[in-house]
Chain A
Amino acid sequence: EVQLVQSGAEVKRPGATVKISCKVSGNTVSDHYMHWVRQAPGKGLEWMGLVDPEDGETKYAEKVRGRVTITADTSTDTAYMELSSLRSDDTAVYYCAMSSCSTSRCSMDIGVDVWGNGTTVIVSS
């Protein structure tokens, strides 16, 4: 069974940078597009971006482009999401997610079906 295990909660000051990890177990990160989705308190889901771990290709949502960097380390089967210049409205639960369909069979327009446990990020002065 594939599992995505995320790093723990973070509290950051405005203007700081946060980096969250997502460890893939039961599968290999290099075979799957890794997505990041966030959810502000009481709000809906917001897609942030994805990475193809095989070649490092990324796609980012316009809202966070320029502040977000999504990477993957194939040696440790771990994906990362780094968000800089944090603001109070970045306070949210951040989820990593992946499609169980491999990149060799499916393109990035195939949706995710495995989700991480979520990481709470609080941005406060």
Chain B
Amino acid sequence: QSVLTQPPSASGTPGQRVTISCSGSSSNIGNNYVYWYQQLPGTAPKVLISRSNQRPSGVPDRFSGSKSGASASLAISGLRSEDEADYYCASWDDSLSGWVFGGGTKLTVL
């Protein structure tokens, strides 16, 4: 049981906009930044969104992050086949004094 809750799966067709949610509490998302990671099969995770809504250099602007209260979302617009991957949210948890991850969302491009 992950501290952060994500839907286990999401899907969309090429060109569509897809949103992945991440729900937490006041001790994590509600009071701290959210990070989003993309993991392609057999590879290490890669940061997509840092500090809730910032895109690191090299990340396409098709990816965007937002946060409201104790929930966060990752939006992917103009969906492409290469976006098919697992996506994880993460945040610092003040009560646990550590990092927590969501369970991950498997994105399928139909």
Which chain A residues have a beta carbon within 8 Å of chain B's beta carbons? 35, 37, 44-47, 49-50, 59-62, 95, 108-113, 115-118
Contacts and interface: CB of A to CB of B under 8 A. Distances in A.
B104 A45 contact: yes
A116 B2 CA distance: 23
A116 B44 CA distance: 7
B68 interface: no
B32 interface: yes
Contact of B101 (A45, A60, A115): A45
A109 B97 CA distance: 9
Contacts, number: 61
Interface in B46-70: 46-47, 50-51, 56
21 contacts: A35-B99, A37-B101, A44-B104, A46-B101, A47-B90, A47-B99, A47-B100, A50-B99, A61-B96, A95-B44, A109-B33, A110-B33, A111-B35, A111-B51, A111-B90, A111-B91, A111-B92, A113-B56, A115-B44, A115-B45, A115-B46
Interface residues of B, number: 27
Nearest to A45: B101
Contacts of B104: 44-45
B96 A112 contact: no
Contacts of A62: 96, 98
A109 B96 CA distance: 12
A118 B56 CA distance: 22
